[in-house]
């Protein structure tokens, strides 16, 4: 009978090397930017509270923004508080955040925190 002998040291090819799986490293910076873009570009009147899916092709992460609340902060800026999931190679996590639009019209992420 022939076949592979998994117990034998001789059957292991030590010349073969592996590398990282693309996207396996969580890139939280691009994930946060992707979520910011999804939240800031959402048409809240038209969306009517429906979940908003997002995906990050750089990190391989994805998620669903489940709630967005628009408000004015202490400085008078228009902000959006949101809750999202983040599905990555590391697992699934929930995040809360806030993005605000500045005087230049550019949205910036002021908070992106993992829920415990």
pLDDT in tens, 30-87: 999 999 999 999 999 998 889 999 999 999 999 999 999 999 999 999 999 999 999 9
- The sheet that has 62-72: what strands, in order across it? 52-55, 62-72, 78-88, 91-101, 107-114
pTM of the model: 0.74
Which of the two residues, 37 and 116, has the higher pLDDT score?
A: 37
What's the mean pLDDT when you consider all of the chain? Answer: 84
Contact, 114 vs 94, CB < 8 A? yes
Which of the two residues, 27 and 47, has the higher pLDDT score?
A: 47
Closest CA to 27 of 35, 38, 37, 17: 35
Does 24 score more than 60 pLDDT? no
When pLDDT is cut at 50, 70 and 90, the band that residue 106 belongs to is very high
41 SS3 class: helix
Residue spans per domain, the chain: 21-114
Return phi, psi of residue 33, to 5°: -65, -40
Report CA 85 to chain centroid distance, whole Å: 7
């Amino acid at each position: 009978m022939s076949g592979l002998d998994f117990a034998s040291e001789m059957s292991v090819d030590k010349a073969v090397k592996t590398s990282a799986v693309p996207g396996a490293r969580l890139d939280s910076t691009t994930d946060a930017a992707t979520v910011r873009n999804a939240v800031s570009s959402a048409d809240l009147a038209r969306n009517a509270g429906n979940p908003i899916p997002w995906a990050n092709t750089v990190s391989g992460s994805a998620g669903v923004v489940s709630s967005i609340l628009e408000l004015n902060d202490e400085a008078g800026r228009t902000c959006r508080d949101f809750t999202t999931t983040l599905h990555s190679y590391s697992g699934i996590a929930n995040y809360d955040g806030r993005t605000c639009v500045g005087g230049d019209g550019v949205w910036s992420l002021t908070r992106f925190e993992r829920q415990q």
